[in-house]
Amino acid sequence: MLGPGFLEFKLDYSEKKNLPIGQYVSSESFRAGGHLWKIICYPRGDTSEYKLYNGRFVSILVKLVSRSENVKAIFDGFLLNRDGTPSWNVAKRILHAFQPEGVLGSSWLVKGSDLQYYMTDGLARFICGVIVVAEDPTPISMPPPPDIGIHLGRLLDCAIGSDVSFIVDGEQFPAHRAVLAARSPVFAAELFGSMADATMPSITVQDIEPAAFKAMLRFMYTDSFPADSELGDSPIDMLQHLLAAADRFALDRLKLILFSEIIGKYLGGHSWIYSSLRRDIQLSRAKEQVPGFLCCGEKFQRGGIHRWFCDFATEISIPCC
């Protein structure tokens, strides 16, 4: 037995399939959410759909019969298999603002030639239902956005409880071993493994720019990407240094964000870059615009990311010379 608001609509398709386009059959009225409804079926489609479908689709709609103000409702429909079980392959859910008498709701199209696989004794059986949505639903209490990044950022800024510091080109950066180890397997091995750095309160880091190291630390604590104003006078060089640092400390998430930033912003998001997933990229044009980012040139190799970029480019089907 069907619950309230649902109706079994039987279509004698073997008989109705020859009706003219635009002629319909309907169900009896049924009640849902305090309103009366009908199922309207065009066996060969509505006249408004003629140019698109040329009578090849059965069009099923739900109609608000009650003379009431606009009603927002969900229309659910599915076709029954020959054994009476629901066929979720032929199903539809539509949220629609229904208007009073004379105006139909959204259409659900089913290819007429497909109905032969579901019909019993010439009948196609549809289960159609209407679920009325309350006009003023009780607001759902939403949890506040996570703020752990804000608090960890303050921890980094104030150096509260810092138990290790890094010296980068003469600049000192206090940090916390546990946070770094949780974010990077390289730091975990360096700070808690058998390496000498595990017992040292201060560690000197070579071959990395202080600004890039600072931005990397900020990302590790807050998961936030540097703002444009923090990238300095040469944003592309800064991104290259930061990408090298992310690769060195195995920060895969930061690498992916950086790659997207480079392609989307500093290469302009050109369509010829994205089309490289389907055909060879115009490497000569890439070299002219930003030397080193889409080829393994001297500048790119100096950044220490030649191997990673080539592997990543190959993985997403971007040729790398």
Whether residue 91 sits in one domain with residue 188? no
DSSP 252-292: HHHHHHHHHHIIIIISTT-HHHHGGGTS---HHHHHHHSTT
Picking from 266, 290, 305, the residue at the C-terminal end of a domain is 266
CB contact set of 263 (below 8 Å; sequence gap of 6+):
269, 273
Residue 212 lies in a domain: yes
Span 38-80, pLDDT tens digits:
898 988 887 766 556 678 888 888 888 877 667 888 888 888 8
Asked if 254 and 247 touch (Cβ cutoff 8 Å), the reply is no
Predicted TM-score (pTM) of the model is 0.45
pLDDT tens-digit profile of 292-319? 444 444 333 434 444 544 554 554 444 4
70 vs 151 pLDDT, higher one:
151
Tokens standing for 170? 């003469």
Sequence-ordered strand ranges (E) for 65-170: 71-80, 86-98, 108-111, 123-132, 164-168
Q: Is the dihedral of CA 204, 303, 153, 199 positive or negative?
A: negative
SS3 276: helix
d(CA 172, CA 167): 5
> Is the confidence at residue 250, as pLDDT, over 80?
yes
CA distance 275 to 261: 17
CA distance 320 to 280: 10
Do 126 and 153 fall into the same domain? no
Domain assignment of residue 81, given as a range: 6-132
Is residue 87 within 8 A of residue 78, CB to CB? The reply is yes
- Shared domain for 158 and 64, answered yes or no, is no
C-alpha to C-alpha distance for 34 and 70, rounded to whole angstroms: 13
Domain count, the chain: 2
